[in-house]
Amino acid sequence: MVDKLIGNYPYLIAALIFAVGCYTVLSHSNLMRKVIGINVMETAVFLFFVASGNVLGGQPPIIDLNNSDVIYVNPLPSALILTGIVVSVSVTALALGLVVRIHRQFGTIDADEITEIRSNDNA
Amino acid sequence: MNMLIILAIVIPILGGLAVWLPGLRKHPFVPPLISAIIVAAAVAAMRIGSGFGQISTWWEVAPGLSLAFRVDHAAWLFAMLAAGLWVPATAYANSYMAHHPHKLQRFFMFYTLSLTATMGIALSANFFTLYLFYEMLTFVTWPLVIHNETAKAKRAGSMYLVYSLAGAAVVLAAMVVTWATAGTLDFAPGGLLGAETSVTVIRLLIGMLVVGFGVKAAVMPLHTWLPTAMAAPTPVSALLHAVAVVNAGCFGLLRTFYSVVGPEALERAGFSTGLLALASITIVLASIIALRQDHLKRRLAYSTVSQLGYITLGIFSGHPGLLLGSLMHFVNHGLMKITLFFCAGSIITDTGIEHISEMDGIGRKMPWVMGAFAVASMGMVGVIPINGFQSKWFLFQGALEAARPEVIIVLLASALLNAFYFFPIVAGAFFRGERTEWKAEGLSSGLIWPLVLTAALCIVFGLLPALLYPYVNETVLSLMN
Amino acid sequence: MPDMILREITSLLLPFIQMYGIYVVMHGHLSPGGGFAGGMILGVSLILYILVFGLDSCLRKVPHRLSSFLESFGTLWYAAVGLVGLLRGTSFLMNKGAGIDLGTPGELFSSGLIVVITIGVGIKVASTMLSLFYTLVEED
Amino acid sequence: MLDNLPVIIVVSLLMTGFLAPLFVGKFRRTTQVVAGMLTLAAAGASAVLLYRALNTGPVYTALGGWEAPWGIEVVVTPLSAFIMLVLTTIVSLVMFYMPHEQEDWPNQKVGWYITLVLLLTAALLGLTMSNDLFNMYVFLEVSALASFGIVAAKKDRNAGDAALKYLVLATIGSGFVLFAIGITYAVTGYLNLGFASQALAEGQFHPIITWIIATFFLVGFGIKAGLFPLHVWLPDAHSSAPTSASALLSGVVVKVYAVVMARVFFGLFGGAGLEALGISSLIRIAASLSILAGSAFALVQTDIKRMLAYSTVAQVGYIFLGFGLGGVYGVAAALYHVFIHGLMKSTLFLSSGKVVELRGGSRDISGFNGVGKLLPIPMAAFTLAALSMVGLPILAGFATKWYLFDAGLSAGIYWVPVVVIISSLLNAAYFLPIVWRVWFGETEAHEVSNRRVPGLIPLALILAVVGLIPGPILRVLEEAAVWLIS
């Protein structure tokens, strides 16, 4: 059991980082930290994906035309994660844009203060 | 037959919408009156044809749920009662509303739409159609209840809506249970539940039906909305109490007890004693409460609650004799109660009096009105030449056949209480001097002839039992299969 | 205004950064990288330019409208190239099956339409990075 | 050609979307109309696909000619074709409303808004028909990005805050989905739904692994679809968006996520597997809580758009409940509700948007007093949709309830009818007072310059017709449900 866990340590670390990211998003009221938390979370998933494509002793998957019996690592997860990173970058960019806008409109980027301002608006 | 059913259902909808025609701005009552007459004629014509029992399906709303209609004995009884009384009620409503002009078009639209809902309930051939129109009845009578838009009326309206919607929701649940156990929703004489249905399910179903339809039939703990709804204009009260709403509740109970649950399952559930007790409590308790009411319409309302107890008693019993009496009362009570409410409305319109304590001596000022009132109240008590006597007679007979002496005691006690709360009104109106100052402005004929007509009908039905008895007997036979 | 060292170094480095970005874009079908990574490098090089030389000088070279246009253009480019397969009677993004010469593996001009698509992606990513930065920085 | 139709729909929507900002400056009106016509054409194409899928089986397309499991596979089953049809129909009708809303917007904003809406549509279409988990994730994210954009389209500050809240939570949701996809890939080696489910079934994995996969999917999609208690972003986001965006987000977007979740679940684990894992009962409980809590929250709102948004939470609960019950009737109820709730909610949002506009932007419920006389046709549509929500018979909402009852009772879960009935009473409690206000409330005479709400009448008409004759649709859905379950 322990062997298995240690042998698969990238997965464990990925899960750990995922939890850290999730915690950061949910526990901090500073919007920038939330955005950072999102990134941490997504990085954990990327790590998980890439780790699952690893082949022990494998080479980077750049085809070597002269040598046909090279072991490559599985390129599919890496390729997928490239897409994942694109998505993550766009989300982050959009989030930052929104944070800038919120700062402009509310004068703060603290979620609790914003909630307070909004409830005063309504009252 | 199909044509007649379509007429009965669709004409009131058209009539209700026609109220908004620009040409009828001044006379919004015309389309409702015409549609009421057409519907009454159509329903009367259904008796002539030979199409009893034929199902006419309009369309399938969802797999297993179809909109279907059928005329059978019980359906025609209710339809004829409602459609027949709708004509004088509409005429009366026109005269009454002429004195209280407030959003007449809206009033008459919903007044007429209620006719569709009532006809739909009466003629439904399956549980779904019944439920559909039962729900519709709530929605079209609600605007009538809060018509005056006073705070009181609005409170009454919310109460009515809450009670009715909750009741309809329970009916829906009952429908689901029926569908799940029987696999069909089409009414059939003898019921839909097979012999293998467990007693628990039957009891559950009966309980749901009693709660669901009992709301509209004002079975005792569920009656509170009815006296409160007195805030509505008087023609509406007449409609609620005598013609459409409460009778729809009773009819729903009748239909579902005998065509869904079935007499045999009813027997097996072993509920009859409990249900009879419920009805008996309603009869006696409501009468006692009625005694203590000074507000005329509220007293009449509690009287309705009590009298409906007679009807539900027969339905709950599952015994042919009691059922016969209860169906007789179904018709007779409608006639008497509509007369009483017409009288109350005329009194309010003419003198503004709403309380019984102020009514002393009123009989000499308006003899026709109070005469009709006297006739109807005597009927309520069960004095011989009036129709109320007959229904009580058959109820007594049924109770004897069913060997239920306790029912006889309840009936006697209630008759006594009825006498206590009706006769002082009549006696005071005719034989006591005026105690309070009021002035009568004189009534238009439209506020007199409908109530004289219905009072006359009470006497006619009282004198000629052959008008009603054979048909009701057939109805009971067809229901008991 | 940033100091001279920064400006001189940046103006020295920028051509190399951009050349590297183009290199990565063009070799997307041969080695790790490709349109996204290369486009990102190009976009970041432009952002560096803004940080050092100021927003206005970059807006003069690449106006906001141009970068917005290129954003749409990149996507359309991708879709249009994808449709080639479809127009040839096969499926979307089809390459070899649509009768396009794939060339020799390992050479720069090979693998049919993929390199063409990658260029579109590079343009799209670079211009999007720039537009986003413009949107964030510009006060409206 | 027909095999490529699904791809053509998505690609043409995307291309038009990105062309829109280029042309909107000179040909604003044309751009708007072309976008609307295009989605309408997409609806037509979806109808063709649905017909084809029902008659000759699903349409498979392998992108780039790479067959599954190597390539990305697109498959149009009756289920996905139906959802596509619903989606495109509602989007196109809302599209016809949009020019009305955009009258005083600057050109650039109109262009981007159209881009985002078309991007959202394309992404949701892609999401519905993709048979590849990672491809699903990409479309999920694209649709989410587009949704964030249209939520933030209004300039007021609440919109920005709501959009960021939505973004943060939705991204957590996609994180969970992606993690679940990662685990699936790691243990099975496939991303194609069919192959992965086969591998899962044959692989004899420890139940905890499948359970983790399922729970992560549930949390992820639950956040995106606004399942209680993960709904916290929804009322804010759906109420701060422009009217057309609210109609789309509440009307179609959240429900597509629910349907995709069902596809993933039934595709990976099968109905029996879900029941064995306990996921079905988890969904049922969360759905019932959604239904009750959403209605209860809606009851206390005084802001009409927030009320409608909370009502969406409750209505999505119906959909999840249907999926949680499983079986042909449960799934058919859920799919039917996806359809009619889309119609009802769009109608409600568009018509109340008109009222908000009339009242100078005030969203208080008291603004509905007496508007029936000022805007008779939009308010008739509002009334129809509100009463359908309550689920009165011969209106559209009733068939859902009926099917849910049937599914609940045949699955032996007797509290389902109770929940549904309580919920319809709650619905009545918050919709009927508004209907009363609309028709019989008092209002000062008010000049209404423009009574038109484009796109509303077709929505309401479809709703009315569906209510009267739901039979044919339900039969199609039963067939679609069979596809999903087996």
pLDDT band for position A1 (50/70/90)? low
| Nearest-by-Cβ selection for A101 from D160, D182, D191 | D160
Residue C30: closest CA among chain A residues belongs to which residue?
A62
pTM above 0.90, yes or no: no
- Domain, as residue range, for A62: 2-122
Q: How far apart are the first and last CA of chain B?
A: 23
- D175 CB near a chain A CB, below 8 Å? yes
pLDDT value for D348:
92
User: How many residues are listed for chain D in this entry?
Assistant: 486
Tokens encoding A55: 């082949």
What are the two backbone dihedrals, phi and then psi, of residue D413, each rounded to the nearest 5 degrees? -105, 95
Establish whether chain A is in contact with chain B, requiring a minimum of 3 CB pairs below 8 angstroms.
no
pLDDT value for D109:
82
User: How many residues are listed for chain C in this entry?
Assistant: 140
Residue B439 has pLDDT above 60, yes or no: yes
Q: Which of A81, A94, A108, A110 to mutate to test the interface with D (most CBs of D within 10 A)?
A: A94
| Nearest-by-Cβ selection for D168 from A38, A44, A118 | A38
> How close is the nearest chain C Cα to the Cα of A66, in Å?
11
Rg (CA), chain C: 18
pLDDT value for B436:
66
C-D contacts (CB, under 8 Å): 50
- Using CB atoms, list chains with 3+ pairs below 8 Å to chain D: A, B, C
Tokens encoding D120: 């959202």
> How close is the nearest chain C Cα to the Cα of D400, in Å?
39
Percentage with pLDDT > 90 across chain B:
3
pLDDT in tens, chain D (486 residues): 567 788 888 888 888 888 887 787 788 888 888 888 899 999 999 999 888 888 888 888 777 667 767 777 888 888 888 999 999 999 998 888 888 887 888 887 888 888 889 989 999 999 998 888 888 998 999 899 889 888 888 878 788 888 888 999 999 999 999 999 988 888 888 888 888 888 888 877 788 888 889 999 999 999 999 888 888 888 888 888 888 889 899 888 999 999 999 989 988 888 888 888 888 889 999 999 999 999 999 999 888 889 999 999 999 999 999 999 888 888 999 999 999 999 999 999 999 888 888 888 788 888 888 888 888 888 889 999 999 988 888 888 888 888 888 888 888 888 888 888 888 889 988 888 888 888 877 777 667 777 778 888 888 899 898 888 888 888 888 888 888 887
Q: Determine whether the interchain pair D14/C79 forms a contact, defined as Cβ–Cβ distance below 8 Å.
A: yes
Q: Determine whether the interchain pair D470/B61 forms a contact, defined as Cβ–Cβ distance below 8 Å.
A: yes
| Nearest-by-Cβ selection for B135 from D393, D410, D469 | D393
Name the domain count of chain D.
1
Range B357-367 average pLDDT: 81
Q: Determine whether the interchain pair B135/D394 forms a contact, defined as Cβ–Cβ distance below 8 Å.
A: no
Contact B31, B13 (CB under 8 A): no
- Distance, CA of A108 to CA of A112 (rounded, Å): 10
Establish whether chain C is in contact with chain D, requiring a minimum of 3 CB pairs below 8 angstroms.
yes
pLDDT band for position C84 (50/70/90)? confident
Tokens encoding B387: 């129709």
Report chain D residues whose CB lies below 8 A from the CB of C90. 65
pLDDT value for D218:
92
Name the domain count of chain A.
1
- Distance, CA of D358 to CA of D356 (rounded, Å): 5
D151 phi-psi bin (left φ>0, alpha ψ -120 to 50, beta other): alpha
pLDDT value for C19:
93
pLDDT value for D344:
92
- Distance, CA of B374 to CA of B368 (rounded, Å): 10
pLDDT value for B51:
67
Q: Determine whether the interchain pair A93/C132 forms a contact, defined as Cβ–Cβ distance below 8 Å.
A: yes
- D164 CB near a chain A CB, below 8 Å? yes
| Nearest-by-Cβ selection for C92 from D15, D21, D63 | D63
Mean pLDDT estimate for chain B: 85
pLDDT band for position C97 (50/70/90)? low
3-state secondary structure B299-355: HHHHHHHHHHHHHHHHHHHCCHHHHHHHHHHHHHHHHHHHHHHHHHHHHHHHHCCCE
Q: Determine whether the interchain pair D61/C95 forms a contact, defined as Cβ–Cβ distance below 8 Å.
A: no
Chain CA centroid to CA D120, Å: 12
Q: Determine whether the interchain pair C32/A60 forms a contact, defined as Cβ–Cβ distance below 8 Å.
A: yes
If residue B60 lies in a helix (H) or strand (E), which one and from where to where?
A: strand B55-62
- Distance, CA of B349 to CA of B149 (rounded, Å): 18
pLDDT band for position A67 (50/70/90)? confident
Report chain C residues whose CB lies below 8 A from the CB of A65. 105-106
Establish whether chain B is in contact with chain C, requiring a minimum of 3 CB pairs below 8 angstroms.
no
Q: Determine whether the interchain pair D21/C72 forms a contact, defined as Cβ–Cβ distance below 8 Å.
A: yes
Residue C65: closest CA among chain D residues belongs to which residue?
D22
Q: Which amino acid makes up residue D46?
A: S
Helix-helix angle C114-137:C35-53, to 10 degrees: 30
- D421 CB near a chain B CB, below 8 Å? yes
- A79 CB near a chain C CB, below 8 Å? no
> How close is the nearest chain B Cα to the Cα of D421, in Å?
6
Contact A65, A78 (CB under 8 A): no
> How close is the nearest chain C Cα to the Cα of A6, in Å?
30
User: pLDDT tens digits, residue range B321-341?
Assistant: 888 999 999 888 888 989 988
Q: Which of C25, C124, C135 to mutate to test the interface with A (most CBs of A within 10 A)?
A: C135
Report chain B residues whose CB lies below 8 A from the CB of D440. 106, 143, 149
- C107 CB near a chain A CB, below 8 Å? no
User: pLDDT tens digits, residue range A68-116?
Assistant: 777 888 888 888 888 888 888 888 888 888 888 888 888 888 888 888 8
Q: Distance of CA A42 to CAs A11, A45, B436, D163, D171, Å?
A: 14, 5, 86, 19, 9
User: pLDDT tens digits, residue range C38-69?
Assistant: 888 898 898 888 888 888 888 888 888 888 88
CATH number for A79: 1.10.287.3510
- Using CB atoms, list chains with 3+ pairs below 8 Å to chain B: D
- Domain, as residue range, for C124: 4-137
Q: Determine whether the interchain pair D18/C75 forms a contact, defined as Cβ–Cβ distance below 8 Å.
A: yes
- Distance, CA of B179 to CA of D402 (rounded, Å): 10
Its ipTM equals 0.79
Q: Determine whether the interchain pair C32/A100 forms a contact, defined as Cβ–Cβ distance below 8 Å.
A: no
Residue C1 has pLDDT above 60, yes or no: no
Query: Hey, which residues does B60 pair with through a beta bridge?
Result: B66
Q: Determine whether the interchain pair D157/A102 forms a contact, defined as Cβ–Cβ distance below 8 Å.
A: yes
- Distance, CA of B317 to CA of B256 (rounded, Å): 14
Contact B455, B380 (CB under 8 A): no
Contact A14, A45 (CB under 8 A): yes
Q: Determine whether the interchain pair D175/A42 forms a contact, defined as Cβ–Cβ distance below 8 Å.
A: yes
Q: Determine whether the interchain pair B59/D425 forms a contact, defined as Cβ–Cβ distance below 8 Å.
A: no
Q: Determine whether the interchain pair C96/D65 forms a contact, defined as Cβ–Cβ distance below 8 Å.
A: yes
Q: Determine whether the interchain pair A86/C36 forms a contact, defined as Cβ–Cβ distance below 8 Å.
A: yes
pLDDT value for C117:
84
pLDDT value for D310:
92
- A70 CB near a chain C CB, below 8 Å? no
Report chain A residues whose CB lies below 8 A from the CB of C131. none
3-state secondary structure chain C: CCCHHHHHHHHHHHHHHHHHHHHHHHCCCCCCCCHHHHHHHHHHHHHHHHHHHCHHHHHHHCCHHHHHHHHHHHHHHHHHHHHHHHHCCCCCCCCCCCCCCCCCCCCCCCCCCHHHHHHHHHHHHHHHHHHHHHHHHCCC
Residue B443 has pLDDT above 80, yes or no: no
- C40 CB near a chain A CB, below 8 Å? yes
| Nearest-by-Cβ selection for C36 from A63, A78, A82 | A82
Q: Determine whether the interchain pair A83/D134 forms a contact, defined as Cβ–Cβ distance below 8 Å.
A: yes
Q: Is C43 exposed, middle or buried (0-12, 13-18, 19+ CB in 10 A)?
A: buried
Query: Hey, which residues does A72 pair with through a beta bridge?
Result: A59
Contact A71, A57 (CB under 8 A): yes
A17-24 own/partner pairs: CB under 8 Å, 24+ apart: A17/A41, A17/A43, A17/A44, A17/A47, A18/A44, A18/A45, A18/A48, A18/D175, A18/D179, A20/A44, A21/D175, A22/D172, A22/D175
User: pLDDT tens digits, residue range B93-123?
Assistant: 888 888 877 778 888 888 889 999 999 999 9
pLDDT value for B204:
87
Q: Determine whether the interchain pair D393/B166 forms a contact, defined as Cβ–Cβ distance below 8 Å.
A: no
